Amino acid sequence: MARSTACEARGAAGTRVEVAGWVHRVRTLGGVTFVILRDRTGLIQCVFERSPAAARLSCESVIAVKGLAVAEPRALSGVEVRADDLEVIAPAPGVLPFEVNTKTLRANLDLQLQERALSLRHPMTQAVFRVQAALARGFRRALETRGFLEVHTPKLVASGTEGGAELFPVRYFDRQAYLAQSPQFYKQMLVLSGFERVFEAGPVFRAENHNTTRHTNEFTSLDLEMAFIQSEEDVMVLHEQILGEMLATVAGECAAELDMLGASLPESGPIPRLPVPEAHALLRERFGWTSPPGTSGVPEINAEGERLLGDYARAELGSDLLFLTSFPTATRPAYTMPRADDPSLSRSFDLIFRGVEVTTGGQRLNDYDALVRSFRARNYDPRDFESYLNPFRFGAPPHGGMAMGLERLTERLLGLGNIRQATLFPRDRDRLTP
């Protein structure tokens, strides 16, 4: 007899079914035992008459149940299984680190992450990662429709894209290698290798010593790069389109998950733009906030500045989303294209979503000599970047791209409060297991 999922069984009233999954809840009343079974599609009630074995079931045990599916208006979802056969596939202990069948998880985040195989069983946790998969699926679909090719670039690299400070070193046979901070150099090489439009959804690694609610040391980057753009504006317009399609995918495929998590989607469509010099002025005038200088020595909008700008966008522009544009060239990587009218500013942007940066992008330098000058101006030795720079000698079209953090996007969309709740198995300063 083939196993039916809970969802299938709910549609099979009047037929004999076999369901299998985890024991979500057990209750015995006057010789009748009600077992709520949970599987990947949801819950279904199984009813046992005078079954000591069923009454003794511990929560989270894995069982298979055979019986007649019967319409029962009082039961969850309207159908229950009148059980005549119970198989205990894998019993769980009577006491668990925490219960899974509570409305919300009653365990702090540390314990949830330590006992990940248990916390992931909670329907609300499951919902987070179903939404995340829908976002990634929407990203791919939107780009494939537009002629972008999915690529797989190496994570083992000889040098970083933005200097060496944030790189994890790897012992690669008798040499030193690093983990890629970003597929940046590779996606650019692929664009100028004639693919023109490429994307990648893969892991990136940042050896940052941060311990914040918005940083982990390994995350999933949704990257794209495209040739023959006029300016960074083309990339921002594409971003508006693909984000709209990603949100539409979530809306279409995850309505139940959004409802369970009490999440609302941001509006789709054009996203307001604010040049960084204006953003600094606005922060000063409106919030009395002065951005402190960053590592580059010039003022940089930090987490608090982003939060305030998010508030401003929501209150004044009616938008959960805000593009910051024209970042000072000194604050962006060496491959960034400066603006022709004012080379101290660059053709770059960030996307702020509900007060947190989720995307960074821009137009890139595509002239070999300009690239070498830009690397030298930042005190990098161009010889260390030869395998990246060389291809620019052989005909490199204007191009640009962006990178979106999948976990951050998920966290903001669902209002989870900590990026770790949007990461299956987070990696941070203190966490390398499970």
Q: Which of residues 167-226 bind its own copies (CB under 8 A)?
A: 168-173, 175, 177, 179, 186, 189-190, 192-197, 202-203, 205, 207, 209, 217-218, 220
Nearer to its own copies, 193 or 302 (CB): 193
Taking CB under 8 A as the criterion, the residue among 53, 71, 149, 165 binding its own copies is 149
User: What token pair was written down for 215?
Assistant: 């940083």
Write down the least CB distance from residue 311 to its own copies, Å: 31
The 10 Å CB-count burial string (b at 16+, else e) for 166-183 is bbeeeeeeeeebbbbbbb
Q: How big is the site for its own copies, counted in residues (CB under 8 A)?
A: 90
Write down the least CB distance from residue 40 to its own copies, Å: 4
Write down the least CB distance from residue 130 to its own copies, Å: 7
Taking CB under 8 A as the criterion, the residue among 85, 150, 267, 369 binding its own copies is 150
Q: Residue 315's Cα: distance from chain center in Å?
A: 26
x/- map, 100-119, its own copies, by CB under 8 A:
----------------xxx-
Cβ atoms within 10 Å, residue 88: 16
Nearer to its own copies, 121 or 273 (CB): 121
Taking CB under 8 A as the criterion, the residue among 76, 92, 111, 330 binding its own copies is 92
Taking CB under 8 A as the criterion, the residue among 67, 333, 398, 401 binding its own copies is 398
> Contact between 293 and its own copies (CB under 8 A)?
no
Residue 318 DSSP symbol: -
Around 194, how many Cα atoms within 13 Å sit in the side-chain half-sphere?
Answer: 1
Q: In angstroms, rounded to a whole number, what is the distance separating the alpha carbons of residues 311 and 346?
A: 25
x/- map, 353-392, its own copies, by CB under 8 A:
-------------xx-------------------xx-xx-
Write down the least CB distance from residue 18 to its own copies, Å: 10
Let me know: does 60 contact 23? Beta carbons within 8 Å: yes
User: Among candidates 407, 408, 405, which has minimal Cα distance to 354?
Assistant: 408
Tell the burial category of 273 from Cβ atoms under 10 Å away from its Cβ (0-12, 13-18, 19+): middle
Nearer to its own copies, 180 or 309 (CB): 180
Measured distance between the N- and C-terminal CA atoms of the chain, rounded to whole angstroms: 36
User: What token pair was written down for 52?
Assistant: 């000591």
Nearer to its own copies, 84 or 367 (CB): 367
> Contact between 124 and its own copies (CB under 8 A)?
no
Q: In angstroms, rounded to a whole number, what is the distance separating the alpha carbons of residues 173 and 154?
A: 16
> Contact between 1 and its own copies (CB under 8 A)?
no
x/- map, 325-354, its own copies, by CB under 8 A:
------------------------------
User: Judging by DSSP bridges, how do beta strands 62-71 and 16-29 pair with one another?
Assistant: antiparallel
Q: In angstroms, rounded to a whole number, what is the distance separating the alpha carbons of residues 116 and 122?
A: 10
Write down the least CB distance from residue 154 to its own copies, Å: 5
3-state class (DSSP) for residue 35:
strand
Cβ atoms within 10 Å, residue 434: 10
x/- map, 7-46, its own copies, by CB under 8 A:
-------------xxxx--------------xxxx-----
Q: Which of residues 253-282 bind its own copies (CB under 8 A)?
A: none
> Contact between 317 and its own copies (CB under 8 A)?
no
Adjacent-strand bridge partners of 48? 33
Let me know: does 173 contact 155? Beta carbons within 8 Å: no
Q: Residue 55's Cα: distance from chain center in Å?
A: 41
| Of 153-161, 307-315, 318-326, 347-355: span binding its own copies (CB under 8 A) | 153-161
